[in-house]
């Protein structure tokens, strides 16, 4: 269900930030496994669950939007296009996750190399992983937050 007021949106935002923080630590911990690619696989798996969960919390999953009144649905999809959101209100696919992670291409490649340097490298890889996961998650939260604010404003006008 779409939040009805700004205080609801703020509460959802806090919950989602906590979800992101927990997943970021798991992402960082995946770097302790000394097998190449395990951390990237973990990141993709985490994001495949995290981003839809955030959409769901904000009432912006495609299924939730499809259940709305047709006029509200059209308004929301127009706002999604207008705001240019990358993941809010959309079906999250592996391709979307990979394209989001490609933005971190240099950092992720550096993380792969760094994790094989004893202690310092693993700490660096952990830090990069946590930061990347937090950035992707927080960016998605901010998209959903902005979109929810715009929906509330548009509904007041209507």
Domain locations in the chain as residue ranges: 6-157
| pLDDT at residue 96 greater than cutoff 70 | yes
Give the residue carrying structure tokens 């693993």.
Answer: 122
From residue 32, alpha-carbon distances to 29, 144, 153 in Å are 6, 32, 46
pLDDT of residue 112: 54
Q: What is the pLDDT of residue 110?
A: 52
């Amino acid at each position: 269900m779409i939040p009805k007021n700004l205080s609801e949106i703020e509460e959802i935002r806090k919950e989602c930030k906590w979800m992101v923080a927990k997943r970021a630590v798991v992402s960082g911990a995946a770097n302790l496994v000394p097998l190449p690619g395990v951390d990237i696989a973990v990141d993709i798996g985490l994001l495949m669950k995290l981003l839809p969960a955030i959409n769901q919390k904000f009432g912006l999953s495609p299924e939730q939007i499809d259940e709305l009144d047709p006029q509200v649905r059209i308004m929301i999809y127009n706002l999604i296009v207008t705001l240019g959101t990358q993941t809010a209100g959309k079906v999250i696919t592996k391709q979307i996750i990979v394209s989001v992670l490609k933005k971190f291409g240099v950092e992720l490649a550096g993380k792969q190399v760094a994790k094989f340097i004893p202690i310092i490298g693993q700490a660096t890889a952990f830090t990069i992983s946590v930061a990347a996961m937090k950035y992707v998650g927080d960016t998605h939260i901010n998209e959903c937050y902005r979109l929810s604010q715009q929906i509330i404003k548009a509904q007041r006008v209507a």
